[in-house]
Amino acid sequence: MDKIWLGQYPKGIPAAISVDEYASLKEILELSCRKFAELPAYGNMGVSITYRELDRASREFGAYLQKVIGLKKGDRVAIMLPNLLQYPVALFGVLRAGMTVVNVNPMYTERELEHQLNDSGATVIVVLENFAHTLEQVLARTAIKTVITTQIGDLFPQPKRLLINLVVKHVKKMVPRWHIANAVNLRAVLQAGRAETLDDVPLNHDDIAFLQYTGGTTGVAKGAILTHRNLVANLQQMHAWIARDLQDGKETAILPLPLYHVYALTANLVFMKIGAHVILITNPRDLPAFINELRKHQFTVIIGVNTLYNALLNAPAFVEVTTRYIKMANAGGMAVQRAVAEKWKQVTGVPLVESYGLTETSPAAISNTLDIEDWTGTIGVPIPSTEAAILDDDGREVAIGQVDEICIRGPQVMKAYWNRPDETAKVFTRDGWFRTGDMGFMDARGYFKITDRKKDMIVVSGFKVFPNEIEDVVMMHAGVLEAAAVAATDPKSGEVVKLFVVRRDPELTEQALLEHCRKNLTGYKVPKIIEFRDEPLPKSNIGKILRRQLRELVPT
């Protein structure tokens, strides 16, 4: 195919990268720990650990998994943590031990958590005590054998550790009561691992690094199999994309998005590769605390979603943040609005660089270049060693400017969905193109623009929400006869879930239905708007609810 987008590459960015330079993520991590040993690696709440300390702690964690509880290469370990210093320690410990990471959203409900643990076959989980009560309720129905718990301040020095843990548990009462027999604390895990040796497990490109879960049209979350080849490729691709502007060992990166999300996960790995000091923001929704943290750092890189940048720009205190050191502000996960991009450039002097990808593409696939002056209104051009095309339903490439489905091909594209050959077959063409489900076109310069979604997916602050999952939960309520979920626009989150309901029980209230949803769905999936209807929902001639017609009833 004619890669016309290569003409848009700034000087120095290669058309292709070498995937074979590294055999695994483990190799990249260990190289960074040696190369940047004395530099700060991760910071959180005013405390930082160096790459040498990260090397030691992740080695201890990996040795515990191997020697104390006897895990083998490829075993799945779930991590259910917010952005804390414990996250990279556990993440890299699992990878260095030759095992597979299963990232888990700490805000999952019992239903969601049980499904993911059972589907992945994880036998070990690392969980923040604040969320252990949810795990307790489903533990007996999973294959989990070892529960490792941690408190927010566990990797802080004394006396801050004790003070933070005391305030969180007893003053702010942020830890619901829980009891899990034989759970072991992370500090005890690291101490036990200290007495053991971490075996060097040979890893290659075909070994699985992550089971990264994403929603599906069936309403059931699926695990995208991301191999070491996928992630090594994406790190090489993004490193090539930013190397002209960012220097090894010289950058301070703000990471306010949760590490269990693929966008933040891979960005974090890229930052680790270049020896950056990564500042982990535990709760970016607490804007005063977030902005106070920004004030403390001469940060050079920040990532976020459109809604987060908008919130910062509308917070009066943000004017007190020093932004003159910023070299790159990257936005992904959802569309960047022109007004937000223009205001960001006006306030900070740097453009908001929009990128595009999916869980299944590790995630980066298409991006604007770092040398743009202003908002382009596009998602950019394919990154090195990546092909993108607009294909019709038969897998044929359409003409430039014509709208159809955006498809991706490259070394970062997932191997398959975990134990779901049926779902895997649906998203790959015979020629190996991954169907993104996003509709768009490519212009004459090679820039891609999204126009709509082929799927009914709803994007809430960068998180994907699939209507079937919402509808399945709602239909579990005895008072509901019919239900359909669609996207409604929202100034804060971009989109929210709107629910159309036909009642079986005429006494069913909005509050009762919301309470039911909150018990079974993570917060961002809970409908924000509920509309009860007296007439049956519109259906096709085979009885399928026509969400498209319902979307037309939603104001834009």
Q: For 88-122, what is each residue's pLDDT tens digit?
A: 999 999 999 999 999 999 999 999 999 999 999 99
Q: What is the DSSP string of 416-434?
A: -BTT-HHHHHHHB-TTSPE
pTM over 0.75: yes
d(CA 441, CA 403): 5
- Residue whose structure tokens are 């989990």: 144
Tell me the mean pLDDT in the region 383-389: 98
**Domain spans of the chain?**
50-203, 386-453, 458-551
Residue 2, pLDDT > 50, answer yes
| 176 prior amide bond cis, ω within 30 | no
Contact 14, 384 (CB under 8 A): yes
Whether the predicted pLDDT of 217 surpasses 50 = no
| CATH 2.40.128.520, applies to 386-453 | no
Between the CA of residue 47 and those of 52, 98, 156, 161, 352, what are the distances in Å? 15, 29, 7, 10, 29
Strands 387-391 and 301-304, sheet pairing:
unpaired
CATH 3.40.50.980 fits 50-203, yes or no: yes
Average pLDDT over residues 1-24: 96
User: In 3D, which of 471, 540, 428 has the Cα closest to residue 217?
Assistant: 471
pLDDT in tens, 298-352: 999 999 988 899 889 989 999 999 999 999 999 998 788 888 899 999 999 999 9
Evaluate whether the domain defined by 458-551 bears CATH number 3.50.50.60.
no
What share of residues in the chain are helix, strand, coil (percent, to 5)?
35, 25, 40
CB 150 within 8 A of CB 186: yes
Q: What token pair was written down for 492?
A: 């804060």
Shared fold status for 386-453 and 458-551: no
pLDDT, tens only, 529-540: 999 999 999 986
Q: What is the mean pLDDT of the chain?
A: 95
